[in-house]
Amino acid sequence: MHPLLASRARLGAYLLGWVPIALLLTGIALSQGWSWAEAVALALPLCLLAALLFLSAWFLCRALPLGRTTEGLGTHGAAWGMAAVLMGGLWSGLAWVLARMLAWIPGLGALPQRVGIALPVLTGLGVLLYLASVALSYLMLAQDRAIEAERKGVELQLLAQESELKALRAQLNPHFLFNSLNSLSALTAVDPARAREMCVLLSDFLRRSLGLGERQLVALREELDLARTYLAIEQIRFGARLKLDWHLDPAAEPALLPTLLLQPLVENAIKHGIAALPEGGILSLSTEAVEGYVLLHVNNPVDLDAPAPEGLGLGLRQVRQRLLGRFGSRARFETGLQDGIHRVTLVFPLETEP
C-alpha cells in the first residue's frame, strides 16, 4: 500500500502540493496566449492526472533502495531516467487525448492544436515532475525507515530493561536462597567454620549481584567473579555432586558484555543439569580470546531420561536477546545437546571501551 494512500491527511497534503504546479502550468499557458478557459480546462485535470500517475514513483523507489555508497547509482539512474521518460511521454500523450476530448466543448476548439505545439514542453515538464516524485518518494522511504528504526530501538531498549529486571529477580532466586540458608543452618551445628565461610560467600554474592544490576555493561572478569562466588555456594550445597572445570583465558577478561549475562547460564547448568542428576557431574566453563573475539563455553551433563525442553528456555532466550541487542550480527549464541552434554557457546567482539 502506498503510504500517501494509506492516510487521508497525507494524501490531502500531497494534492495540495500540486496546486502551485497547476497554477504555474496555467500561468505558462496564459503567457503563450491561451485563453483562461483553455488554460484552466487543461491544467487542472492534467495536474490531477499527474498527481495520481506519479504516485507510481514510490513503488520504483521501494524496489530500488538507496545504498550507503554510490554503488548501483548508475543502474538506478538509468531506471529513474527510463521511467521518467516513459511517464513524461504517457502524461503528455494523455494531455493530447484530453485536449481532443475537451475540443467538443464550445470555446475550446483550438485546444488540440495548442497542445500539439506544447507537446515537447509538456513531455519535458512531465519528466521533471516525475523525477521530483522520485526524490519525494525516497524522502518518504527514508522517513519511514527512520521511524521504524526508532520504534525498534525503543522496543529493544524496553526489552533490555525488562530482561535486566528479570535477570535481577532471577538473581535473587528464592529457591537458591532458601536452600543455601538451609545448608547454612545445617553447617552451624556440624562445621561452624564452614558456616561462616558460607555466610561470607552469600553476602559476597548478594553484594556483587546487587551492584552489577545497576550497570549496563561489565567486564567479563566481574561476571566470572560472580559466577565463581555463586558456584562456591552451590558447591557447599551439592558437595561431591558438583565438580567444576574452569579454563580461563586472561586475555578475554577485560571484554565488556551486558551485565548478568553469564549468571543465567550458570544457574541453568545447575538447575537443569547437576541438580537433576543423582550423581551430579562436571560443570565446565571456559573462555578464550581469538582474533578480537571472545569465545565463552558453558557445558553441563543433563538427565537423558528427561525430555529435552523445546526451544530455548526463557533464561537462555533473554541471554540471546541481550547479547544480540548489544553486538548485533557480530555476536553468536549457540546451544545444543550432544552425548548427554548441554552446551552453550557465546561469541562476541572483544571490546574494552563502551
Partner 1 sequence: MKALIIDDEELARAVVREHLAAHPDVEVAAECANGLEALKAAALHQPDLIFLDIQMPKLDGFEVLELLEAEGKRPAVVFVTAHDQHALQAFEAHAVDYLLKPFSKERFDAALAKARALNAAQPVAAPPPAHELAASARQGKPLERIVVKDGPKVTVVHLDRLDWIQAQDDYVLLRTEGKNLLKQQTLANLEAHLDGSRFIRIHRSYILNLDRLVRVEQDSKEHRDAILRDGTRLPVSRAGYQRLRELWEGA
Residue with cell 521533471: 128
Choose, by CB under 8 A, the member of 183, 209, 263, 268 that binds partner 1.
Answer: 183
Q: What does residue 118 show for φ and ψ, rounded to 5 degrees?
A: -85, 0
Q: Where are the beta strands (DSSP E) in the chain?
A: 217-219, 242-247, 256-258, 281-290, 293-301, 332-338, 341-349
Choose, by CB under 8 A, the member of 120, 278, 328, 336 that binds partner 1.
Answer: 278
Residue 305 interacts with partner 1 (CB under 8 A): yes or no: yes
Stretch that binds partner 1, among 11-19, 151-159, 244-252, 303-311 (CB under 8 A): 303-311
Comparing CB distances to partner 1, the nearer of 49 and 277 is: 277
Choose, by CB under 8 A, the member of 307, 328, 336, 354 that binds partner 1.
Answer: 307
Stretch that binds partner 1, among 6-14, 30-38, 172-180, 339-347 (CB under 8 A): 172-180
What does DSSP assign to residue 205?
Answer: H
Per rule CB under 8 A, count of chain residues that contact partner 1 = 25
The region that residue 24 occupies, defined by phi over 0 for left and psi between -120 and 50 for alpha, beta otherwise, is alpha
Task: Please give the Cα distance from 89 to 87 (Å, whole number).
Answer: 5
Choose, by CB under 8 A, the member of 82, 306, 314, 337 that binds partner 1.
Answer: 306
CB of 165 to partner 1, least distance (A): 20
CB-CB neighbours of 226 under 10 Å:
23
Residue 181 interacts with partner 1 (CB under 8 A): yes or no: yes
Binding to partner 1 in span 203-242, by CB under 8 A? 236-239
Among residues 52, 53, 65, 56, the alpha carbon closest in space to that of 15 is found at 52
DSSP 182-193: HHHHHHHHH-HH
> What are the residues binding partner 1 (CB under 8 A)?
174-175, 178-179, 181-187, 189-190, 236-239, 275-278, 303, 305-307
